[in-house]
Structure 1
């Protein structure tokens, strides 16, 4: 995968990034096709035991998974790795807790702002829920299209600002302030690169809800998934160990992403047609 938009502190520029992970050999086209088919079949089968009441929980699980997957890459983690504790040991971790807290508050504020905006847009447009035939049909199309995109069978638009948080901020503010600023920037979800198109599924559901409280809740769940990986800094592991593990598993994360999108899309397609 191309490196994520590295912030050029000298020139103040960003560089473009790929919209999805490439699969050089670990997952052949046949393997990915099998995963696509199995995910669609599994989602369709699950829909047989579902009704409209299950749509919100499924979206909540998908949102949380999307949040976790959004930072599951060395380039995605590189931005929040700048918030790591200074030094080693219990004292360093305790001194880092205010940064961890403000980072979470930034995500919460981002969810409130973005969720309110999306819910209000849906309300003004007269939308009244994502569990309608129209809503489920639209979510199904998004899930199936972006599932194929992540599994590298289809190219569809991937609208976002392809940039990271500004790395030089840590040189201008205390770390706890930077934690909050980074949390807000990342918590608004469209100000930085996000590896998973599950964000688009969650965004569409938030608009379709036509309800500010429901929209905020969906974005908050997504952001919770984005925020929790930062807690790895509470463990006695090095940045190199984290980055290496993420690098080894990045393709698996993209496969999981595509499988989730496809399964949810197939399930919602079945419900829309029922």
Structure 2
């Protein structure tokens, strides 16, 4: 939130500097002069023209900087997905560094008062004010000035903010910057034009005769850009709530890892992708696919095939009589599968790769659910959700001993992944969702790797048009992220990284994110 506010403030100041351009002066004279020629109706006419001019400027700013942010998001820029170039690595950090560098460079140039370059030496079409009704002409002029790059640019901050929007790739932040910029472009005109005979002409003369006013405004813009750059570098931002997360792939879910290799399912495609370092990604067609500890398991109707990941050598074929495998995990000695029960609920089964029969582990009734299983050696981790709460269980398949590692009646614990003594899981609360990592033995040490806003929507607490008596505040602590339309879903845990699926139920789009441990 702080970074977005600072960038919006810098955009507002950059918009105000546009009043010193030839178009800025001409807009004031155009509106004031046209109103004067209309006699008694001039006052109403200029008010209408100022209103349409302001609306046009806001629309133009929102279009320019909002679309630049959408472009950055489409290119896989840093904002919420967190990577420039689409790879998994330090993309989010590079995006934030690039945005901060642009802000600092523009701040230095504006602070020193350097001549703005590149410069756009164009003005708005003059014929509009002669051929169109004044409110319509004013609206079109407002759009052109709000676009920012159709006329003279009076501050390096305008160029920097455009680059920052692309680097962050956060449409909400781009929209805030664009609206603030449009407001800055509109304010001097709507403040001066209605009173041009008195206050307006006095301000216009001072602006034209005293360049120090423009220099002061550019220095203020420089100070705001420096503050925004520091916020980008030193802390999490509203523009990138999960800035540490790197986008691995879109249309990807149910990740699994093995010795540096990464696999995921493509939703609705019946296809899985395996990416091994130094090799091109390979596609497999299977109902479910998982990798683990050097093995590759694929689920087909009637059987699960397990092969070695390195050379595809046959390890085991495990027949199963029921269809509907909804989750799969494999290790060096075991394979685990989740299935839907005919009368509702889920069932978790395991089989030894040494040749033992498939054996049930746990099942839930209608209304209950089991998470996708996770295997590491003899450890099997899964989450159980019922009407009475949720819990995460780690079971030793060699001994059959199971223990509940985490339990909650007020939050939803789900999507566990186990690796050694580390456990990755998702905790969903009314106010937020958190991807967390903890230990399964010894002293409990828990860290939050990623936080998103909660998906719950709270009603107003009263009927429309009725008294607000009894209405209560949300109860969410200060600093809670705003409500999100995205959910944290299936996970995978590697020695150096955590993977999580980000799912948008409204659009049914998924993205696989990587976070350093």
User: TM-score normalised to the size of structure 2?
Assistant: 0.38
The alignment status of 1:63 with 2:14, answered yes or no, reads no
- Which one is further off, 135-144 or 245-254? 135-144
How far did residue 83 of structure 1 move?
1.9
Match of 2:229 in 1: 268
Which residue does the alignment assign to 1:216? Answer: 175
Give the structure 2 partner of residue 77 of structure 1.
Answer: 24
Secondary structure of 2:150 counterpart: coil
Q: Which has the higher strand share?
A: 2
Write the distance in 2 (CA, Å) between the matches of 1:108 and 1:153. 27
In the aligned structure 1, how far is the partner of 2:231 from the partner of 2:180?
Answer: 25
What residue in structure 2 maps to residue 193 of structure 1?
A: 152
The equivalent residue for 1:97 is 47
Q: Does 1:184 align with 2:131?
A: no
What's the CA shift for 1:187? 1.3
Structure 1: distance between partners of 2:16 and 2:100: 21
The offset of 1:68, in angstroms, is 1.5
Number of corresponding residues: 220
Structure 1 segments (4+ residues) deviating >6 Å:
none
Structure 2 unmatched ranges of 5 or more: 83-91, 236-517
Deviation at 1:169, TM superposition (A): 2.3
State the secondary structure of the residue aligned to 2:35: coil
Match status 1:119 vs 2:69:
yes
d(CA) in 2 for partners of 1:220, 1:174: 25
In structure 2, the CA distance between the partners of 1:163 and 1:103, relative to structure 1 (3 Å rule), is: same
Provide the C-alpha distance between the structure 1 equivalents of 2:113 and 2:155, rounded to a whole number of angstroms.
16
Relative to 1, partners in 2 of residues 1:257 and 1:110: Cα closer, same or farther, differing over 3 Å?
same
8 Å Cα contact 1:148/1:258 also seen in 2 = no
For residues 18-97 of structure 1, the aligned pairs below 5 Å read 53-71=1-19, 73=20, 75-81=22-28, 82-84=30-32, 86-87=35-36, 91-97=41-47
Q: Matched residues in 2 for 1:124 and 1:160: separation?
A: 28
Distance of aligned partners of 1:78 and 1:222 in 2 relative to their CA distance in 1, 3 Å threshold = same
The match for 1:256 is: 217
Q: Is the 8 A contact 1:66 1:222 kept in 2?
A: yes
Choose 170-179 or 260-269, whichever is displaced more.
260-269
Q: What is the rounded CA distance, in whole Å, between the counterparts of 1:267 and 1:181 in structure 2?
A: 32
Q: How does 1:219-258 map to 2 (within 5 A)?
A: 219-231=178-190, 232-235=192-195, 236-237=197-198, 240-258=201-219
Q: Deviations over 1:191-248 (max 9, x none)?
A: 1112122212321232233233331221111111111112222335266433211123
Q: CA contact under 8 A between 1:127 and 1:209: conserved in structure 2?
A: yes
Distance 1:55 1:193, change over 3 A: same
Q: Any idea what the Cα deviations from partners look like across 1:58-107, whole Å, max 9, x if unmatched?
A: 11211112112221x26353221212252298742212222112212222
SS at match of 1:87: helix
Determine helix, strand or coil for the equivalent of 1:180: helix
> Which structure would you say has the larger Rg?
2
Whole-angstrom CA distance in 2 between matches of 1:263 and 1:271: 12
- Higher RCO, Cα 8 Å, sep 6+: 1
- For 1:149, the equivalent position in structure 2 comes to 109
Q: What is the Cα-based RMSD across aligned positions, in Å?
A: 3.0
Structure 1 position 170 matched with structure 2 position 129: yes
Cα 1:103/1:263, change in 2 over 3 Å:
closer
Structure-1 residue corresponding to 2:163: 204
Give 1:123 shift.
Answer: 0.8
CA contact (8 A) 1:79 1:165 kept: no
Cα distance in 2, alignment partners of residues 54 and 167 from structure 1: 40
